[in-house]
Amino acid sequence: MGSDNAGVDRLGSGGAVPAWDRFAHWGAWPARVLLALAAILLVLAALTPLAVDGEEVATPATGLVEDAPAASGEPPRDDDLAFYDTVIERIARGEAYYDFIVEEQRAHDYPVRPGFAVRLPTLAYVHAWLGEGGMIALAIALMAATVWAWWRRLGEEPGGPRMRRVGAALMLMGASLGLNRYYFVLHELWAGMLIALAFGLHRPGRWGWSLAIAALALAIREHALPFVLLLGAMAVWRRDWKEAAAWGALVAVFCGAMAWHWAQLAPQVAPGDPSSPDWLVLRGLSGWLGNIVLSSNLRFLPHAIAGPLVVLMVLGWAGWKSPAGTTGSFLYLGYGLAFMLAGRANNFYWGAVVAPAMFIGLAFLPMALSSLLRSARGRP
């Protein structure tokens, strides 16, 4: 693939339109329509309030990762983090997860119905076994592996080598979120980093390591399932039946694991236990933008800038015509639609599942915008 990619790059530098510049091959009217849609979305994104628990977040640094702790010590743990701390402590003392988790959630006034309201035990066991020091080492190794994986993939994809340094730096910016030990107990933080690594490791025809990493992400948080389904669907589209079967088998194993998880919980759930509030709340654009901004390093920016940057990241991915660019476009548009339809305002941390690698789209944004403008003017 490397030699083919070099040929494409030489073609681009020789004056012809490179094949990996998607929007450069568009007609005038499709380009004009997309530019108009992008302009509308950028304006709406700048004006859309971002909310947590129904209250607009006004300060830039508020979100999944708070400001650095004060000199007096770490900030107090909120209820969710304190609950996960308790679960990890009980496992570390030798207790079995399913012997106490329903009782513990009930004691903290957390719902236990449906089964999705009770997290899978994977992360709690890993945390209990490794301890704080081990989790710090694991976070550093995972960040390094993710940046390395994307350095390699950018070097092999059509159009990627010229964006390699910028893209890897942007991946580092997104991945650095995973180093905040204060939030190591959050499942979405780890699942998101594992998805970014699995995406970076994936190649059409070479997918074994990607499958294994994605399986670990699924074992931590079921929100990784759309990523697995997408890679399976892309394999079907390429008629790679062996890869499609592998992703399908992973989905089947996951469904079996979830059925077993619910079966362990069912005998302990009482008829009077409250159900979780509805997750289908149709938050619209604020759901998509709020989830990504508040659970990523975009939280440091004013929201009138951070919101439009989310839209521009996706536009950059869409402009890169390559296996990675096409997969990324579907991945981030799909999760964006899901966040607009499902998830309450206090579920904003779900955005951490996809936020880390989204930043790479900004590396391809200048190419995407300039090509759209040229195509809209009817210039090849």
pLDDT in tens, 280-325: 888 899 999 999 999 999 999 999 999 999 999 999 999 999 999 9
- Residue 90's beta-bridge partner residues? none
pLDDT at 37 over 80: yes
Lowest-pLDDT range, 57-66, 196-205, 214-223?
57-66
Say how far apart CA 344 and CA 322 lie, in whole Å: 34
Alpha-carbon distances, residue 22 vs 100, 264, 368 (angstroms): 53, 49, 8
Is the Cα dihedral 180, 151, 292, 327 positive or negative? negative
How far is the CA of 163 from the CAs of 160, 171, 196, 337, in angstroms? 5, 12, 18, 28
Torsion of CA 270, 271, 276, 282, to 10 degrees: 160
- Tell me what pLDDT residue 8 has: 41
At residue 229, what is the residue type? L
Residue 162's nearest CA partner among 8, 359, 290, 53 is: 8
pLDDT of residue 259: 95
- C-beta of residue 60 within 8 angstroms of C-beta of residue 299: yes
Burial class (CB in 10 A: 0-12, 13-18, 19+), 279: middle
User: What's the rounded Cα separation, in Å, for the pair 127 and 111?
Assistant: 23
Q: Is 70 helix (H, G, I), strand (E, B) or coil?
A: strand
Is the pLDDT score of 337 beyond 80?
A: yes
- Is the model's pLDDT at 211 over the cut of 80? yes
Name beta bridge partners: 206. Answer: 203
Domain positions in the chain are 25-64+77-376
CA–CA distance from 37 to each of 32, 43, 313, 326 (Å)? 9, 10, 15, 19
Here the tokens at position 270 are 């009482």
pLDDT tens readout for residues 184-199: 999 999 999 999 999 9
Query: What confidence tens digit (pLDDT) does each residue in 140-174 have?
Result: 999 999 999 999 999 999 999 999 999 999 999 99
Mean of the per-residue pLDDT values for the chain? 89
| 74 or 245, higher pLDDT | 245
Lowest mean pLDDT, pick from 94-98, 242-246, 266-270, 327-331: 266-270
> If you average pLDDT over residues 41-70, what whole number do you get?
63
Contact status, residue 198 vs residue 214, Cβ threshold 8 Å: yes
Q: Check pLDDT > 70 for residue 54.
A: no
pLDDT at 12 over 60: no
Q: In this model, does residue 240 exceed pLDDT 50? A: yes
DSSP string, 89-127: HHHHTT--HHHHHHHHHHHTT---BSGGGS--SHHHHHH
The whole model's pTM is what? 0.90
Q: Is there a contact between 78 and 66 (Cβ–Cβ < 8 Å)?
A: no
Residue 155, CA distances (Å) to 30, 160, 200, 343, 376 in order: 30, 6, 11, 36, 30
The answer on pLDDT for 207 being more than 80 is yes
**pLDDT at res. 346:** 84
Model confidence band, residue 80 (pLDDT cutoffs 50, 70, 90): confident
- Number of C-beta neighbours around residue 319 at 10 A: 27
% of the chain surpassing 70 pLDDT = 89
Let me know: does 194 contact 224? Beta carbons within 8 Å. Answer: yes
Estimate to the nearest angstrom the gap between the alpha carbon of 348 and the chain centroid: 12
What pLDDT does 50 receive?
A: 81
Q: What angle do CA 168, 43, 163 make, to 5 degrees?
A: 15
Mutual angle of helices 122-156 and 187-201, in 10-degree steps:
30
Query: How sure is the predictor about 380, in pLDDT bands with cuts at 50, 70 and 90?
Result: low
**For the residues 61-76, what does the mean pLDDT come to?**
50
Give the tokens for residue 211.
């499958």
Q: What is the pLDDT of residues 81-106, one digit of tens each?
A: 899 999 999 999 999 999 999 999 99
Residue 74 pLDDT level (bands cut at 50, 70, 90): low
Between CA 228 and CA 218 the distance in angstroms is: 9
pLDDT of residue 281: 85
Is 293 strand, coil or helix?
helix
Collapsing DSSP states into helix, strand and coil, what is residue 220? helix
For the record, the structure tokens of 193 come out as 């980093």
User: What HEC string does 152-199 produce?
Assistant: HHHHHCCCCHHHHHHHHHHHHHHHHHHHCHHHCCCHHHHHHHHHHHHH
